[in-house]
């Protein structure tokens, strides 16, 4: 099954949300592929990047985020975990880690415990170069403002509220990817 077929399967009755997801995912995929083309030394798998970027937010349909037309029952913070479970169930497990590890600049066990987040008690930091590229690219686009592309400075400002470690991780990626 292709990423678009999987999105259609779960979003076929929610046209507005499907359009939000597709627009955002295409933005993330395009930026991810641009990074890979600018940095061949990273040896990123571009086919994987494109497919994983299209599927990184597949779990939002089950969350409660009315501002982006999500009317599920789960807290939005769980969309990555939900998406990973869905991808594994659908035989697309190779993309599950990207879904799990793209929130913020990745969520550490320490952050999950300190903030008492409704997530499994484990580390969800991006590990592979593809996971890091998608996580980085994702920070520049919002599903609630599809017309905007944030600058590096704007992303940094947003990340300050999530702690210095998040900003530092983003700064490392900026040096590596820009």
Please check whether residue 168 is in contact with residue 49, taking contact to mean a CB–CB distance below 8 angstroms.
no
Report yes or no: 16 and 146 within 8 Å, Cβ to Cβ: no
Residue 163: predicted pLDDT: 87
Backbone φ and ψ for 56, nearest 5 degrees, come out as -60, -30
- Domain housing 49: 3-177
Bridge partners, residue 65, by sequence: 70
Residues in the chain with pLDDT values less than 50: none
pLDDT for residue 150: 97
- In the prediction, which pLDDT does 162 show? 86
pLDDT at 32: 98
Place of tokens 């992303």: 155
Question: The domain spanning residue 114 has which CATH number?
Answer: 1.10.3210
Residue 161 pLDDT: 86
Query: What pTM, to 2 d.p., does this model score?
Result: 0.96
Total structural domains in the chain? 1
Tell me what pLDDT residue 19 has.
97
């Amino acid at each position: 099954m292709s990423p678009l077929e999987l999105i259609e399967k779960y979003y076929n009755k929610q046209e507005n949300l499907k359009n939000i997801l597709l627009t955002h995912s295409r933005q993330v995929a395009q930026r991810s592929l641009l990074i890979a083309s600018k940095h061949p030394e990273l040896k990123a798998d571009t086919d994987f990047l494109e497919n994983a970027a299209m599927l990184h937010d597949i779990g939002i349909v089950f969350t409660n985020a009315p501002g982006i037309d999500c009317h599920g029952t789960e807290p939005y913070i769980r969309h990555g975990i939900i998406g990973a479970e869905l991808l594994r169930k659908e035989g697309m497990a190779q993309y599950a880690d990207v879904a799990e590890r793209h929130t913020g600049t990745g969520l550490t066990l320490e952050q999950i415990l300190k903030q008492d987040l409704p997530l499994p008690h484990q580390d969800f930091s991006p590990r592979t170069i593809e996971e890091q590229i998608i996580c980085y690219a994702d920070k520049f686009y919002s599903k609630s403002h599809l017309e905007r592309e944030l600058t590096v400075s704007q992303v940094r400002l947003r990340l300050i509220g999530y702690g210095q470690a998040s900003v530092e991780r983003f700064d490392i990626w900026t040096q590596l990817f820009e």
